[in-house]
Chain A
Amino acid sequence: MFDDGTCFRISPEATGKIIDGEAVIIDLATGVYYSLNPSGSRLWELLSAGQSREAMAELLSAEFGIGRDRAEKDLDALLIRLIEEGLVAPDDEAPAAPSQVAPGPAVEHDYAPPELLVYHDMADLLALDPPVPGLMPEAWDYPEEPDPPEDTST
């Protein structure tokens, strides 16, 4: 599916945080937000650190005590979901970050494959709040004239 050396970049519109091992991600462009289970959250952390697919599969296998083949299969499944949602994209030009991410502690609970939960309720709410037609319905972006220099003659 993806080459071992492939790295991924996170959308600049996605803001996320790992909270006690659970990732909360908000897409500022769409209003859709997400959460990830522990294995998925760990992978999000590795993605954010610029790790290659190979490094991520290795860490997933080691930390969650699963075979390398299964780790690769589960990782690819999550990557596809994240790409479908527009949260990440393959970045063939980015060099893989050195493996600076320390392996996480041994996982005490049973492994569950990475799972991305998707919440559309805010996107629905935002869609209910359209601008008044005719005022300024569209964004604008013009060049700006510089402020005149301050008068320092006094």
Chain B
Amino acid sequence: MKTAPPRAAPSRLALARSEAAFLQASSEAPAEHHSVHLELGGLAIRLSVVGTTLWEYLAPPLSHLASPRSTARPGLTIKLWDAARTGIAGPFATLPEILPTGKAFGFGALGEDRREAVAGYQTPAACMLLDRKGGLLAGWVRDPHALSSYEIGKPLQPLLFAWARDRDILPVHAALVAHRGRGVLLGGRGGSGKSTSALSCLNAGFQYLGDDYIGVPAPEGSRFVGHSFYNTSWLEASHAHRFPWLAPALAQGTPSRGNKLLIRPDALFGRRMAASVPIHLLVLPRINDGETVTRAWRIRPAEAVLRLAPSSILQLPFNDPRRLLDRMTELAHAVPCYHLELGTDLAGIPRSVEGILEEVS
């Protein structure tokens, strides 16, 4: 006899039960209830966590977005609890129980309903749901010590990006640094030299907004602004010897993500962490270990888009490929685009970027 396929339970009910479980967790450990107001691209977020260890893991990568302004109705309310610390288990076991469609994503899975009203993210250590329109993200962490460095370095990433995308802040796979308030977006696939460029610029006094993902809203006129999501960075373990000054910023006690190390540059350069800057320049780096000197030359917008767009469109979940391609094309026409051939002398990278900024100003 043919058995009927499982039916996913209503996702909004699961969200309501998650929120109720959060309140219960908070009542179990009131002394470990932590909250902060954040601002991302002008949008207010309230992050609340029950469990001090979990808070110490998740809050630092977002600390540069802290806002002195509090609002009664933030655009996004995040409610997470530590299930091990509070003894409050999650109200369901796996995403397929409550979301009808889904797929594998990195070390976990993503799910959504067919109306794109609720999205879910689950890993071996955590599970959370997002009400995309209502702006509620609720979930639990089984044990903070079980979180991967990916989840610690970029907390809530797929759901935070889905929420931002729904509000037209499109996440782009790029780094962003700024010199005297002028932003330089560094794009390209993994291994192209985004982190090398961004960290070298940070060490030379640039502001730092991230080396992996940047939010880019629609321009005001032709003026593009880039918004930081996380103040963390990733560094290939085999490249770490090139950045000895970063040793104190290596996040301790977290396993590596593949062969990458989690770095917290704010531990060294807290005042250089920035949340938003206008984008004046689009740079596509490429590592050339055969050269000492860094060189740069101007490239066509089409070439810049070809190198910037695929990794953003293919790697990021819940995105809108057409809208992302249009946004990046518009950006590549609005600001000068340069190829940056990275030499082995890292000090030459910020000098070269500064030189381009002078050239185009």
Contacts and interface: CB of A to CB of B under 8 A. Distances in A.
Interface of A: 15, 17, 19-22, 24, 26, 28, 31, 33, 35, 119, 121-122, 125-126, 128-132, 135-148
Contacts, number: 125
Interface in B1-23: 5-10, 12-13
B187 interface: no
A143 B105 contact: no
B309 A24 contact: yes
Interface residues of B, number: 48
22 contacts: A15-B313, A17-B326, A26-B309, A31-B314, A35-B306, A119-B306, A122-B189, A122-B311, A132-B124, A136-B102, A139-B101, A139-B102, A140-B101, A140-B102, A141-B101, A142-B6, A142-B7, A142-B101, A143-B8, A144-B100, A145-B8, A148-B13
A132 B108 CA distance: 7
A139 B109 CA distance: 9
B7 A33 contact: no
A103 B234 CA distance: 49
A146 B314 CA distance: 31
The B interface is mostly helix, strand or loop, or mixed, namely: mixed
Interface of B: 5-10, 12-13, 94-96, 100-109, 111, 113-114, 122-124, 189-191, 258, 300-302, 305-306, 309-311, 313-315, 321-322, 325-326, 329, 332
B96 A26 contact: no
A136 B189 contact: no
A127 B329 CA distance: 27
A28 B314 contact: yes
B325 A15 contact: yes
